[in-house]
Structure 1
């Protein structure tokens, strides 16, 4: 721990609620949230990630946040092996994923260890927690480093949110961390937190909703959901899904993340997952996009970080894809723009 400051904070309760290890912006934001929570504020504000547009503010009711925390515990953490439900928080607490960890610590009356968000938060930090939440980008960095990988094996459960997972990463998690329960969550800022999840290794990548969440699709096959976080109103998520049961669905891609090339609609996120599988590249090290084309309407392109492979070698890797899914051009860049939550900024 070095010279890092270690402080225990108790807030109007006999239960341990929060443990910080240093003073930072993360500390200030969390402390402000707890002051609002403890005085009984009824509304809490979050910013969207800005993945497909400008970030915007969304307000959520206290009772909806409590419902989410309770539904999460019932769905995944009722088993005594997860108690005392202590969490390591290494996500920004002014975004949905991090703020909901603060909410859960209050609702569950459980310890929370707060550290500064980074690409690999376990490299220098570890606290004896049962549960943590990571973005796929953080998880990739954690498992690639032997020090942080060893620390990851000490958790009982890891919630993974933010974007699609690399299939190669999923296989590595199952093989290397058999005692850790990895849960790929599904949700948005508009729903305060996740409203569904799937256990890594479960068949067919099916997401199951939590609590009283109801689901349906509209005429465009976009997922619509209703639960206490939406005040029981139906909202459209712009996620294309296949409903597999009244309580489960298979994710197909984003309706607003499509290239229409020659009349064929190509789901970029599903294609990126396929490319990650055949190439072994980390998900966030490349992305697909479209540019105007007089013949096709839009032409499929690939943007990628600099690699040891030549352009010709990259095209060879991609040649195993169906012809219509093969990018027609490659752009080499020094960085892929990401949101603060680790999603590709389209």
Structure 2
């Protein structure tokens, strides 16, 4: 029988302490009143979760558009927790580590997984370099690519790591091949209540057919619209079919390859270019933050540009050797500091606007 969102598993622990429903309400008030900023965020979320409403208002990160609030059913969040638990074979009493902020859906779902599945959750201050109890072993953890990169030498403490929030750099994937922990890249969004598909990044076995495709979780169906964008049918997570702006190539009924965002596609002289695919090729050669965009061109309509977070451009032309003929940027611009979303992602539109202001 599927657990109800009003229940707290009797094996649930938060930072080494057992809490039932009433106890959790009290500790939530305590976090809000006396806690550090990340604990206040946790307390506010718990109070929302434990109230008598059957839904939550959550906010998108704003990385692909204007941040917006969504109403999500609590039971759908429970279903998501169960799907993750089943896929990764999480059992009551397993140790869970969360170093993500509770303001956004990824951090919220780490808490709900623990509450619903009876996991022992250690929640620590979110930072680029998570500080954990290095004497303790953890069965499951979620991180951003930056956190994972900084945490690699301590990864023996972890059994399974999911990483998301932005694309995982190829240089990091290379480093992961020496890591014992099983690492998976996730694909999802606030609308799907975190991930609906995962891609294994290391420790491959013979049955791992592909290393470049995302595999959807059970009870999720995928398709494409006329633009080539992913359509997600996940009745346990959403009452509506979700039409994304993510351009994909489908491989069978349960796997897909992510190509980039439709709203980022650049049409240059009739050639459609995916910035994210170009960025993936360049990421191992450029140390600074950067992204690929476009500007108006009298001949091509739009021409490819590279925007670099730096005072000066010190990039040599050899970094473009692995790019196709049409993928090479026509110009490189520099900005001292990019604009980022609250979740730490590059806000492309606002950064480009800043670049235009600088140019004028």
Question: 335, 338, 342: which is aligned to 1:336?
Answer: 338
For structure 1, which segment, 29-38 or 152-161, has the greater mean C-alpha deviation from structure 2 after superposition?
29-38
Q: Which residue of 2 aligns with 1:214?
A: 221
Q: Deviations over 1:195-237 (max 9, x none)?
A: 1101113524111111211111111111000113553421111
Spell out the pairing of 1:298-309 with structure 2 (5 A cutoff). 298-306=302-310
Q: Which residue of 2 aligns with 1:172?
A: 175
Q: Which residue of 1 aligns with 2:161?
A: 158
- 8 Å Cα contact 1:222/1:237 also seen in 2: yes
The answer on 1:42 being equivalent to 2:54 is: yes
Q: Which residue of 1 aligns with 2:257?
A: 250
Deviation at 1:336, TM superposition (A): 2.9
Spell out the pairing of 1:258-337 with structure 2 (5 A cutoff). 258-277=265-284, 279=285, 281=286, 285-306=289-310, 310-311=314-315, 313=316, 315-337=317-339
Q: 1:242 to 1:136 in 2, by over 3 A?
A: same
Q: Which residue of 1 aligns with 2:114?
A: 105
| RMSD value, Cα | 2.8
Higher RCO, 1 or 2 (CA under 8 Å, sep at least 6)?
A: 1
- 8 Å Cα contact 1:135/1:341 also seen in 2: no
**5+ residue gaps, structure 2:** 1-13, 203-207, 349-360
Spell out the pairing of 1:165-204 with structure 2 (5 A cutoff). 165-175=168-178, 177=179, 179-201=180-202, 203-204=210-211
The answer on 1:238 being equivalent to 2:245 is: yes
- Secondary structure of 2:308's partner? strand
- Secondary structure of 2:112's partner? helix
Deviation at 1:343, TM superposition (A): 2.2
Q: Deviations over 1:156-198 (max 9, x none)?
A: 01111112211121111112x1x20101111001111111101
- Secondary structure of 2:341's partner? coil
Deviation at 1:263, TM superposition (A): 1.3
Deviation at 1:133, TM superposition (A): 0.9
Report the TM-score, using the length of structure 2 for normalisation.
0.82
- Rounded to whole Å, the distance in 1 between the matches of 2:93 and 2:177 is 25
Q: 1:47 to 1:118 in 2, by over 3 A?
A: same
- Secondary structure of 1:269's partner? helix
- 8 Å Cα contact 2:232/2:243 also seen in 1: yes
- 8 Å Cα contact 2:80/2:237 also seen in 1: no
- Rounded to whole Å, the distance in 1 between the matches of 2:89 and 2:337 is 38
